[in-house]
Every structure is written in C-alpha cells, then in structure tokens.
Amino acid sequence: MKGKVYCLSESPDDSSIYKTHQQAHGLVPDLIELVTSGTAAASQSRGALFLDVHHLGAGNVTAKAVADAHVKDLAVQGKYDVNLINYWVDEKAGVVMCLAEAPDSAAMVNTHKEAHGLIPDEVHLVKQGN
C-alpha cells in the first residue's frame, strides 16, 4: 500500500473534503467517493479493522454483482469470525473495497474465497488516525 492513503470523512460535499486536505497539508485526494451506510459493526470486537481491495478491471464489475457477492459474504462471515462493515464499488475503474473487523487478514480472504471465490488483490490493516 506504499503511497496510498484512505480517509473516511463526514462532509456536506466533495469540495469541503478537498479544501480541508489542501489547507491542512497540501496532499489532496485523487478520488472522492460517496459512502453509504452499511451494516453496523458488532458491539463485540472481532479484532482489527482490515480494508481489502479487489482490482477486477474497468467494465468488469457492477454494483448489483457486488451487492450479490456481499450477501454471500454475510452468509459465511461468522465461520471466520469476520464482521463485514461496508463495501465500496467503482464500476468505472472496476475496483471494489471492503472494510471488516477480523482476527487477521487471512480470515477476510477465506470469507471471500468461500463465499464467491473473488480473492482480494490487497488486504491492509487499518490504522485509525487521530
């Protein structure tokens, strides 16, 4: 993940996020995606937070297909002690990102592998900033 930073922020619009980064440190985002609410995290921690990234290729993914795969993930996540919190789809770039609580990265990979076979290209431990 060298050279990549993912920020999750609450803002009235894209320009506010861009301006905040620009004024704070000059490192402006290349891409800003709207995040919709997902399944709430369980009250009991399952471990650390992990973000996985699937690079499926431009034109090779639809929001509906990812929603269907996510349902399959939810059906098997308990077997691996995973709590999938949310996912994001960039149909144009063919990228899917998933955020989950899990005991380790292997648990996330195994959940996806059993549910639908789409193994992520990257899995990153999320370190929350202050």
| Distances, alpha carbon 103 to alpha carbons 33, 71, 79, 85, 115, in Å | 27, 21, 12, 14, 18
Show me where the domains of the chain are located.
7-32, 37-125
The CATH-assigned architecture of domain 37-125 is 2-Layer Sandwich (3.30)
Q: What is the pLDDT of residues 72-128, one digit of tens each?
A: 999 999 999 999 999 999 999 999 999 999 999 999 999 999 999 999 999 999 887
Residue 20, classified by CB atoms within 10 Å of its CB into exposed (0-12), middle (13-18) or buried (19+), is middle
pTM of the model: 0.67
